[in-house]
Each structure stands twice: as structure tokens, then as C-alpha cells.
Amino acid sequence: MRPRLASVSTILLALLLLANCGGPKPTPTQTPRPTATALPPLSGSGGGQIVFSSTREGNHDIYVMNADGTDARRLTRYSADEYMPTWSPDGTQISFDSSRHGNLEMYVMNADGSGEKRLTENQVEDGWRGWSPDGARLVFYSTRDDNAEIYTMKIDGTDVQRLTDNSYPDWEPSWSPDGAKIAFMSDRNGEREIYVMNTDGTNPQRLTQQAGDDWDPDWSPDGTQIVFTRKASGNDDIYIMNSDGSNVRRLTDSPSTDHLPAWSPDGKHIVFVSKRDGQSDIYVMDADGGNLRRLTNDRAEEMGLDWQS
């Protein structure tokens, strides 16, 4: 068996442990938020808005920007870290992970940053979630039963249902657009590979078979393809495959890290994070890997992308 490589969720947990070293810290306080105003019309690379996490103001906070990279606006203002934001299907809410209480918990807020609500309350990790297509439930991973497993719950945090039960971690769930399947990452067979299962946890099937690590699955808007990250030739690149695991194609070929891909609402573009220019920035490309464009250019760490029309 190969040594296991750290996924984004493992890295986040390590960061939290480091941050908590050195004794108790005061409860994080929130900076007063300016009154929300209407968002301006958007245009750009496929149109819409991209939500993401960035350290451009010091710690990880949630931001939203136009799809062409302009008009970035900060939505969260805590002294703790916020990660991995995801749009609700109707674009009115954003779910995200936060370490403001010492461990990763799940929250939801309105699209302008108002109305925050805590969804989970455990002394463990809860995070990396995706919405059901009807907006009624969230799928997420949690270590509440010792091992990282996949769960679903209503968007108010109730009716938690466990979907997987393995001795190896299951992470990074993504709900299919038709509501019938959930893709996720697991190393249950010795490598980090992408699987798919029914929404009740039955009939898990392995989609990727390579001798390496695959993660970050995200369904195309029409449900026919899945974009993901693969570690090949010593670095991370963006790949795409049919939703049954066939026809795997490599989209990026950079000597640095390309990861965390997400589809545009029209399925014509893919946004992702890359370190190809020496820092962690957001890029967009056509769905075939062509027409690469850089959207952000700063010394901050950008991560956790989602695109909404």
C-alpha cells in the first residue's frame, strides 16, 4: 500500500491543530458588518458569481466575485477561519465551514453574508458539503463516529443520516444534478479514488482505477461528466471523465499544483486553484482545457470554489 497523501480536509485539520497549540484562546469576535447592499449585474467568463475562501485580509474568509475576477467582496469577518463555501441551488444562500469554535463546523448564510446560522455542533470535524438539487438537504463528511464518513441532513441541521460505514475515510461528497447519486473520495481500497453511490448510501461503485490519488469530484451541470484532481507524475492536475468513470482526459499539465475544480453554471468552463505562477490563485479554462485565464493575482491563499449563475 502506498503512503496516504493528505487531502484538503486533512490539511485543514492539521492547520486547526497548529492554531490551537499554546493554550486557550479567547472566543473570536466579529467585526461589525456594513449594511448589505444589492449586488451589481455580473458578466465575464460564462457570467455569474464565484464564491471562494481567501487569506487576503489575514485569515481565511469567504468572498464572492464576478466570474471575470472583478469586484471581490468579503462576506465573513471573523478572526477565525472560514473555508469551502458552496452556493445553494437557487443562489440565495452559501454554506461554509468555520473554525470559530475551535474545530470545523458547518454554517449557512445569505448570499450577501447576512443571517449566519450554525448547522453542526460537535467536538469533531464536520465539513466539505454539497447541496441536494432541490436545496432541501446537505451532504457532508464528519468524524463524529471516529472515522470520516458521509452524512446528509436537512438545511436546518436536523434529520442527520449516515450513508457510509468503513474503516477507511470517506470524504468530499458531491450531489449529482438529478439528485440520484453522490460522488465522493475514499481510500477504502488503498488509494484515494473517486466513488459514486445512491443517495441512501447503497450500491457504492469505484469510478477511478489508477495507481495514484484522485479527489475533489464535481458533477457537470448536466450530470454527464465529473471533473476532479489527480496526482500524476508527482504533481496535482485537473482531469475530467464521464460520470460512469470512462473516457478520462487530462485538462491541465503544470509542474505546480492545479486543484479544487468547479464547473460554470452553463457547463462550458471550469474554475480551479493553481500555484503555477508561484502563488495560490484562481484560474478559469474552457471545459476542454483550452483558453486558460487568470482571475486573481495576489499573495493570498485562495481555495474552496463554487460558481453560481
**pLDDT of 6-38, one tens digit each?**
444 444 434 333 344 444 434 444 433 333 233
Q: What is the pLDDT of residue 259?
A: 97
Is 155 domain-assigned? yes
Is 32 domain-assigned? no
**pLDDT of 247-264, one tens digit each?**
999 999 989 999 999 999
Q: What is the pLDDT of residue 7?
A: 44
For residues 98 and 59, what is the distance between their CA atoms, to the nearest angstrom?
11
Is 33 domain-assigned? no
Q: What is the pLDDT of residue 216?
A: 96
Query: What CATH number does residue 177 fall under?
Result: 2.120.10.30
Q: Which helix (H) or strand (E) holds 63?
A: strand 61-66
Domain that holds residue 65: 8-17+43-307
Is 148 domain-assigned? yes
Contact 243, 223 (CB under 8 A): yes
pLDDT band at 46 (very low <50, low <70, confident <90, very high): low
Is 23 domain-assigned? no
Lowest mean pLDDT among 27-41, 153-167, 220-234, 272-286: 27-41
- Residue-wise burial string across 162-176, b where 16 or more C-beta atoms lie within 10 A, e elsewhere: ebbeeeebbbbbbbb
Q: What is the pLDDT of residue 128?
A: 87
Name the percent of the chain lying above pLDDT 90.
75
SS3 category, 130: strand
CA dist 72 → 88, 96, 241, 300 (Å): 19, 17, 31, 13
Split into its structural domains, the chain has a count of 1
Nearest to 168 by CA among 151, 193, 205: 193
Contact 73, 64 (CB under 8 A): yes
Is 2 domain-assigned? no
